[in-house]
Amino acid sequence: MAKRIDVKDLNVYYGDFKAVEGVTMTIEPRSVTAFIGPSGCGKSTFLRTLNRMHEVIPGAHVEGSVMLDDQDLYASGVDPVGVRRTVGMVFQRPNPFPTMSIKDNVTAGLRLNGVKDKKQLAEATEESLKGAGLWDEVKDRLDKPGAGLSGGQQQRLCIARAIAVQPQVLLMDEPCSALDPISTLTIEDLITKLKDDFTIVIVTHNMQQASRVSDKTAFFNLAATGKPGKLIEMDDTQTIFNNPTEKATEDYISGRFG
Ligand SMILES: Nc1ncnc2c1ncn2[C@@H]1O[C@H](COP(=O)(O)OP(=O)(O)OP(=O)(O)O)[C@@H](O)[C@H]1O
Ligand SMILES: [Mg+2]
């Protein structure tokens, strides 16, 4: 079940440094939302607040609220580990557990959750690898190490690992930045398929990618180095790319800036 995310007046800090200020946005279920904006404007920082990964850094904290349907992720008593299970994440660099086999990589989260049944794990492996578009390439080498795959295959393995625990939201921080154009298109096709089941947020520096895969686009910017990043505008992707409201958005997407 994909879920809606409602962010209200979110400020994000590293100690005293306010990295992101005043973000209010709604992310629709079963859709792809792209975050774009210049380096350092806080896209990754904000993304990590959506599954409580931000606070693993000492001194890091937030003000404001993030709702997942009707659950406040930052309410007292909410278990951040449970939140991260519901809101999965894929990182910029593919990071499979290098010595673990392909199949153990896929089921790492499930086994951590206490699933031991071999048949259940085997089914989850196949289903997740099929979901990530990797099954045909690895079905005969499931016991080989994950590190033995190409970069694009490793990224799809990480996606399989993320979807194996059946999250409701999938956060992806520049998932294609280390990949060649063919692997990039494979991941983009995959994202389009995954949105039938998940709420997807993707950070990207690739404007074509944002316009190809996303339904909504959010443009972030910062006034100057050391100032907090802000959400400038968010709208249908077509509108952001063809007819944005803010001049800063137009300058950025047309390459005049950033
Ligand atoms: N662990 C950290 N401790 C302190 N400050 C940090 C930390 N991580 C990021 N920052 C700062 O927070 C601000 C936002 O960084 P962030 O990584 O979110 O930007 P970004 O938009 O994702 O950039 P890029 O496009 O380069 O990935 C920057 O000023 C950055 O230096
Ligand atoms: Mg980043």
Whether 258 shows a pLDDT value over 60: the answer reads no
DSSP code for 165: T
Q: Residue 2's closest CA among 66, 91, 111, 88? A: 88
Pocket test for ligand 1, best of 21, 23, 43, 56 (most atoms within 8 A of CB): 43
Phi, psi (degrees; rounded to nearest 5) at 60 = -80, 135
Would you say the CB of residue 91 lies under 6 angstroms from ligand 1? no
Nearest CA residue ID for atom 26, ligand 1: 39
Per-residue confidence band for 257, with pLDDT thresholds at 50, 70 and 90: low
pLDDT on residue 46: 98
Nearest CA residue ID for atom 16, ligand 1: 42
Would you say the CB of residue 39 lies under 6 angstroms from ligand 1? yes
Ligand 2 center–CA 174 separation, angstroms:
7
Is the model more confident about 2 or about 257? 2
Which residue carries 């959506």 as its tokens? 50
Is the model more confident about 257 or about 47? 47
CA gap 99, 211 in Å, rounded: 37
Whether 157 shows a pLDDT value over 90: the answer reads yes
For the chain, domains (ranges, CATH) are 5-253 (3.40.50.300)
Between 115-124, 173-182, 229-238, the lowest mean confidence (pLDDT) is in 173-182
Ligand 1 center–CA 42 separation, angstroms:
6
Question: Token pair of 84, please?
Answer: 């991260």
CB distance 131 to 166 below 8 Å: no
Nearest CA residue ID for atom 14, ligand 1: 42
Nearest CA residue ID for atom 8, ligand 1: 45
Q: For the chain, how many residues are written?
A: 258
pLDDT on residue 55: 94
- Within 10 Å of residue 77's Cβ, how many Cβ atoms? 4
